[in-house]
A and B are shown apart, each in its own frame.
Chain A
Amino acid sequence: MTMPDPPDLPNAPRDEDEPRDAAAMLDLVRSQQDRVTRQLAAEVPLILAAWGIAWFVGFGLLWLIDGAKPAFAIPLPLAVAVFVVLMAGALVATALLGIRSGRGIRASAESAFTGAVYGWSWTIAFVAMFVFGTALIRNGMPADVANIYYPTASTLLVGLLYFVGGGIWHAKPLLWLGGWIIVVALVAPFFGYPAHYLVFSLAGGGVFLVGAVVAWLWVRR
């Protein structure tokens, strides 16, 4: 098969319109699509960094309530308050960066539906987790078991929802992230209070921070 003659394109700016050879054109397609994919993911490193900081510092502070005694201890109300603020901050950052990332892109009815259902899954999962925890406490769950239940159940849900998200959007890194976080949730409670908080901080927060660096290198490549 031979290459066709360059087609005649009247009224076109010649420099940009000049057809190149097949290899160059295919390369152009690939490099442009690769560039677009990375540009559309420009906010991902920041989102991961926000969660990485929230987990690393937040769970680290919860661990420091009792974990480093008698050398050092943080008052419980302070640790819990900072934890809540960091998690809420990461949530707000994710929402704002998500909006920024999707600016000017109008979803199809199908993908809008998928996104809405996925978003509601998070809300439903966390409300259910808290309601279940409340029911367990009503049924006599002691405070030290509740200390295990809440972070473990939350982490398990986060991992599962990321994993499902990886399937929905064909995003393998999200599968790995979700899978890892599920493993963290399965392992951490066996360390018991307060060491389980340190596991969530290092293994959970750590994977988000590593992910942020990897994503940043990929986006900027």
Chain B
Amino acid sequence: MTELDPVIHAAARLRITATLATLDPGESIAFPRLQELLDMTAGNLSTHVRKLEDAGYVAVEKTHRGRTPITYLALSRQGRRAFEDYTEALRSVLGERP
């Protein structure tokens, strides 16, 4: 690992990715709850989620609960792997044992 993943190597997207990584694989979280956990504005979160989605790291599922539309977000398998590679790269840069 010689280069840090530019998609995640940005504070806002790293926080989003780290938060989604606390969920179990297969779990997903509604946009407003994620926003609450991150304390980010909806617009800011949308912008960064779109970049993560474009990179294939975040899976976005738009669904309905009754008549209310809900957007569920989750790390894709690729995203989870990218996050693990990224944190491992940081630890090796810092000389921490994994």
Contacts and interface: CB of A to CB of B under 8 A. Distances in A.
Interface in A1-30: 1, 3-4, 6-9, 12-13, 16-20, 22-23, 25-26, 28-29
Which of A22, A103, A106, A109 counts the most B-chain CB atoms under 10 A from its CB?
A106
Interface of B is mostly: helix
Given A25-B9, A33-B22, A104 B14 contact: no
Interface residues of A, number: 36
A98 to B, nearest CB: 15
A26 B27 contact: no
5 contacts: A16-B11, A26-B90, A32-B19, A37-B22, A105-B33
Interface residues of B, number: 39
Contact of B11 (A28, A35, A37): A28
A131 interface: no
A19 B11 CA distance: 6
Interface of B: 2-4, 6, 9-15, 18-19, 21-30, 32-34, 36-38, 44, 47, 51, 72, 87, 90-94
Given A40-B22, A104-B29, A106-B28, 11 more contacts: A4-B3, A7-B6, A26-B91, A28-B18, A32-B15, A36-B37, A40-B37, A104-B30, A105-B29, A106-B29, A110-B26
